[in-house]
Amino acid sequence: AQSVAQPEDQVNVAEGNPLTVKCTYSVSGNPYLFWYVQYPNRGLQFLLKYITGDNLVKGSYGFEAEFNKSQTSFHLKKPSALVSDSALYFCAVRDTGRRALTFGSGTRLQVQP
């Protein structure tokens, strides 16, 4: 069965500093990996995905993620955090045998001014 782990319930970072939100996954085949963001009282918004190709994936709002097959990780990163980045971030995975996404438990990112 596929699974996703987001080991940090909350990440705190100062505005202007780099941020990392961690994600590790477990799938039986090749992974399709996604990051979504949820702002209060809103639905999830797609940030980026890894299907194949370069291990560094660039997405919306200056976010990027690095796929590491040996560590089965897909950490979300941003070089310089903004207060407006404060939100709930979800990592999700799909393996080639299934169509549905499995989401992690979410990490709340708090960017302090």
Partner 1 sequence: DSGVTQTPKHLITATGQRVTLRCSPRSGDLSVYWYQQSLDQGLQFLIQYYNGEERAKGNILERFSAQQFPDLHSELNLSSLELGDSALYFCASSFGLAGDNEQFFGPGTRLTVL
Residues of this chain that bind partner 1 (CB under 8 A)? 32, 34, 36, 41-46, 49, 51, 90, 94, 98-106
Q: Tell the smallest beta-carbon distance from residue 80 to partner 1 (Å).
A: 25
State which residue, 3 or 17, has the beta carbon closest to partner 1: 3
SS3 71: coil
Q: Tell the smallest beta-carbon distance from residue 38 to partner 1 (Å).
A: 8
Q: Using the 8-state DSSP alphabet, how is residue 99 labeled? A: S
Q: Tell the smallest beta-carbon distance from residue 13 to partner 1 (Å).
A: 23
State which residue, 70 or 100, has the beta carbon closest to partner 1: 100
As a whole number of angstroms, the distance between CA 100 and CA 108 comes to: 23
Whether the Cβ atoms of residue 97 and residue 2 lie closer than 8 Å to each other? no
Q: Tell the smallest beta-carbon distance from residue 1 to partner 1 (Å).
A: 11
Write the DSSP string, 16-42.
TS-EEE--EEE-SS-EEEEEEEE-TTS
Whether the Cβ atoms of residue 35 and residue 22 lie closer than 8 Å to each other? no
State which residue, 11 or 107, has the beta carbon closest to partner 1: 107
State which residue, 42 or 58, has the beta carbon closest to partner 1: 42
